[in-house]
Structure 1
Amino acid sequence: MWILYDSVAAISSRSGAPFLIVRFENTQRTLGWSITKPGFCCTREVVWLEVRNADLTPHVDPVEFLKKKLASRGLSDAAAFMTSREIGRHHISQSRIGSVIATCLATVGLTNGERIGTRRGQKVLLPGTINTLVHVSHSLSAGAFVESVSIATQARTAAVMETNPDRGGPAITGTGTDCILVAAPEGNQLESCAGLHTDLGEAIGAAVYDATYAGAMEWNAENREDGPNSKTSEGAL
């Protein structure tokens, strides 16, 4: 499946288990904590690898496992996430504010839910994760990149909290293994800030919130404890 957006650097997503691939027309600068390209990096491809618990047994190095899988598909230079969420269940949202276009693609699993500032007492055997890619149409300064990651994190957290099912405990704010990556085109005219009051911050927030909200609602519906189809759809990272 290919999806094309009329952003400055068009995004195409191709889904074919076990990979979900986002390929940009041109190299993008990135900031985040993807497994293979943490911190400030550059890439033309962002990849989700779908895995199962059986793939990541205690003796398996997850980073090496991921690198081998990427190499087998000629994707060694990609920024990459791992998830056991079915990659066909990803969610995409796009927001346009002024001249800014922000596009978010996210996979959402919440088994490994955590609340910031609290200590989890019981180990969860089937952790989940939220993997978020947000692309913006404008080039960003280092400071704007950092601020964009902050906005994306706020948007993800708001969406998770507002979709929490009432299970008698405090609302979770994310999971223990969430990853976020912000991508933007290379260029000389750089946006210097991305606060909530800017077109850039507003567009990022809307795109990430909407994609995460949709993903969380779908995951909650699949995993209702009293539902006829109750199941855990996240079985690893």
Structure 2
Amino acid sequence: MIVTCDRPWLCADLGAPHRVLSWAVHNGGLTRASRIWWREVRNADLPADLDVTPWLAREMAGRGGADAVGLLTSRDIRAHALTRTEVEGVAVEALTTAGLSNAEAVGRRQDWAGMDWGTINIAVQIHAALTESALFEALSIATEARTAAVIEAAIELPTGLATGTGTDCIAIAAREAGPALPHAGLHTALGEAIGAAVRAGVAHCIADWRVDIRRLRRLKAEGKPLD
């Protein structure tokens, strides 16, 4: 995975077309793509009457990325982490950004009207081919790893410990060529590699987010401009 950051864009080049499974705003679902892009946004970019999906499609097309999978985040995309894990010859890379300003505890939602927003976005590149069922299983393992890292951060909410945010998105990309791995569960080398890469990336980005939040709150209290 080759990563370039040109704010407001964060771009992951997978090097070749991959099968990509996600619930991304742009080109979500099960698709074929060689790139996964982030678009950083601010409140001014997203007025209440804006239809986000066609807006992002136009933004992606204007940059030559109509065929890429597109994610949205309010997090400063310069604060990203690329983690890599290899287990028994199976290599996995995870590109992560994380902001938890709109954190939630699963099963009980809060009223976020007029509040700040965040998002945990993760792109996982698996350097192997997977069956379709294994691709879905890989997405579940990445989600579990994300949740574990958030729980370890121990962010207390009125509804309980945070398990994620209301706008998280994960994209799993697997090679098209080669023997397809049939499973990606926690007992497999692939499951271990996905879990380790994602968990480390999310934990790193949450730690960075906490530092930035304290800094921004201090600047706000001092009446200084926020970056």
Q: TM-score of the superposition, structure 2-length normalised?
A: 0.91
**Are residues 1:87 and 2:77 paired?**
yes
Give 2:117's aligned residue: 127
Q: Is the 8 A contact 2:19 2:173 kept in 1?
A: yes
The AA in structure 1 aligned to 2:146 is: R
Q: How many equivalent pairs are there?
A: 221
SS in structure 2 at match of 1:117 = coil
Distance change >3 Å, CA 226–CA 53, structure 1 → 2 = closer
State the match for 1:213 in structure 2: 203
Q: Does structure 2 conserve the Cα–Cα contact (< 8 Å) formed by 1:110 and 1:175?
A: yes
CA distance in 1: counterparts of 2:203 and 2:92, whole angstroms:
16
CA distance in 2, matches of 1:127, 1:228: 19
Task: Map 1:56-95; keep pairs closer than 5 Å.
Answer: 56-95=46-85
Aligned to 1:197: 187
Specify whether residues 166 and 61 from structure 1 end up closer, same or farther in structure 2 by C-alpha distance, changes over 3 A only: closer
Whole-angstrom distance in 2 between the partners of 1:77 and 1:162: 36
Identical positions, percent: 37
Say if 2:144 is the partner of 1:157.
no
In structure 2, C-alpha distance between the alignment counterparts of 1:17 and 1:227, rounded to whole Å: 22
Question: Which consecutive residues of structure 2, in runs of 5 or more, have no partner in the other structure?
Answer: 222-227
Runs of 4+ in structure 1 off by over 3 angstroms are: 121-124, 165-169, 224-231
Alignment deviations for residues 113-163 of structure 1 (CA, whole Å, 9 cap, x no partner)? 011111325545212111110111110001100110000000000001111
* Alpha-carbon offset, residue 225 of structure 1: 9.3
After superposition, the C-alpha distances for 1:25-48 in whole angstroms (9 at most, x for unaligned) are 210111111111222111011100
C-alpha spacing 1:37/1:205, structure 2 compared with 1 (3 Å)? same
Which structure: greater strand fraction?
Answer: 2
Partners of 1:168 and 1:120 in 2: CA distance = 8
Q: Deviation digits for residues 75-130 of structure 1, max 9, x if unmatched?
A: 11100101121111111111110111010001101011011111325545212111
The DSSP-based 3-state class of the residue aligned with 2:117 is coil
RMSD: 2.0
